[in-house]
Amino acid sequence: MTIYIDVLFFENIAINFLILAVTGYISKLKASSARLLMGSFIGAVYVLAAFLPEMEMYFTITAKIVISFVMVAVTFWPEKIKDFIKLILFFYLVSFVFGGAVFGLYYFLNTEGGMVSYGVYNISGFPIKTLLISIIFAYIIIRICWDIIKSKAIHENLMVIVSVEFEHKKVMIDALIDTGNSLRDPISNIPVMVVEFEAVKDILPEEVKKIFLSGEETNLDFVVEEISKTDWASRFRLIPFNSLGKNNGMLIGFRPDRVGVELKNGKKDFEEVIVGIYNRILSTDESYKALLSLELVS
């Protein structure tokens, strides 16, 4: 097999650059392009050392760990030890995923058999087409998997249980803390919690339930007429909104006796909050039925 040093060197720089860049993306500790190149250069020089006489001693497990530490340190220059540890862990994770993609695609596409290996970072035995496909494949896998993991973690951390009390009736609701929810009652400027009708219908007056069951919540004349029949008309509001898939919309809201939020550090009760009733589904998987303003739990 003929190995071209210049090709090997630049291939390793490119792949090291990709691994370090993805490591920065996942850890949210991104580095400049210049630093990424510096770290990639160090890794590529290490591979070239394999071709020098009597250099086997520098390819021990300890030496490989040290060189990876140096690559990460030079690239990201972390100020805290916990950031450095996080970067190292992600660096190895990305490297292993990429390495698995390269070998997997090589043996899947290779019809001649045989085995190619030369050092830890050596990729000289792989066709450039396979390497390019592997880079794209590994990048897609890492991005998709990481976005799923991150989304799930955020979702779980933002889920809370909310209790809504109105006229001696109470319901418990799974809610999502919505960082983008800045909805407020235009009259009192009180924050609004958006809740599905199905989640609060058991505590609503019959006249208000009639509005939603008939699908007339957008008919303002009908809404005003029905709410005016209740003994709690002063506690209901009409709240304009420009989200939830509709512009210039209107929510029927009410001021409950109390709203309680179950947090990790205990329960918090609120009286200064408006519950906006939404006659559709907020979550396609029905994992939550209310959107809670971040202001209420911060």
Question: Is the confidence at residue 195, as pLDDT, over 90?
Answer: yes
Separation of alpha carbons 181 and 78, rounded Å: 34
Separation of alpha carbons 235 and 228, rounded Å: 11
Separation of alpha carbons 261 and 162, rounded Å: 5
Residues 139-183 have pLDDT tens digits of: 777 777 766 666 565 555 678 889 999 988 999 999 988 766 678
Domain with CATH 2.40.70 in the chain: 158-296
Question: Is the confidence at residue 228, as pLDDT, over 90?
Answer: no
Using a pLDDT cut of 70, give the percent of the chain over it.
74
Question: Is the confidence at residue 124, as pLDDT, over 60?
Answer: no
Structure confidence at residue 275 as a pLDDT band (50, 70, 90): very high
HEC secondary structure over the chain: CCCCHHHHHHHHHHHHHHHHHHHHHHHCCCCCHHHHHHHHHHHHHHHHHHHCCCCHHHHCHHHHHHHHHHHHHHHHCCCCHHHHHHHHHHHHHHHHHHHHHHHHHHHHHCCCCCCCCCCCCCCCCCCHHHHHHHHHHHHHHHHHHHHHHHHHHHHHHCEEEEEEEECCEEEEEEEEEECCCCCECCCCCCEEEEEEHHHHHHHCCHHHHHHHHCCCCCCHHHHHHHHCCCCCHHHEEEEEECCCCCCCEEEEEECCCEEEEEECCEEEEECCCEEEEECCCCCCCCCCCEEEEHHHCC
At 283 the pLDDT is 83
Residue-wise over 83-92: b if at least 16 C-beta within 10 A, else e?
ebebbbebbe
**Of 30-34, 111-115, 131-135, 153-157, highest mean pLDDT:** 30-34
CB-side neighbour CA atoms (13 Å) of 50: 21
**Of 68-72, 122-126, 136-140, 207-211, highest mean pLDDT:** 68-72
Least confident of 57-61, 193-197, 252-256, 282-286: 57-61
Separation of alpha carbons 231 and 214, rounded Å: 21
User: What angle in degrees, to the nearest 10, is found between the helix axes of 5-27 and 33-48?
Assistant: 140
At 245 the pLDDT is 53
Question: Is the confidence at residue 267, as pLDDT, over 60?
Answer: yes
What number is the average pLDDT over the span 185-195?
Answer: 88
- 69 or 240, which is more confident? 69
Question: What's the mean pLDDT when you consider all of the chain?
Answer: 78
Question: Is the confidence at residue 137, as pLDDT, over 80?
Answer: no
CATH 2.40.70 for domain 158-296: yes
Q: Which residue has the tokens 């909805």?
A: 183
Question: Is the confidence at residue 90, as pLDDT, over 60?
Answer: yes
- 181 or 269, which is more confident? 269
Separation of alpha carbons 208 and 13, rounded Å: 67
Separation of alpha carbons 117 and 135, rounded Å: 18
Least confident of 61-65, 195-199, 257-261: 61-65
- 113 or 200, which is more confident? 200
Q: Which residue has the tokens 């993991």?
A: 149
Question: Is the confidence at residue 118, as pLDDT, over 90?
Answer: no
Question: Is the confidence at residue 115, as pLDDT, over 60?
Answer: no
0.75 cut: is pTM over it?
no
Structure confidence at residue 216 as a pLDDT band (50, 70, 90): confident
Determine the residue type at 91: F
Least confident of 51-65, 103-117, 193-207: 103-117
Residues 44-57 have pLDDT tens digits of: 888 777 666 666 66
At 248 the pLDDT is 65
Question: Is the confidence at residue 113, as pLDDT, over 50?
Answer: no
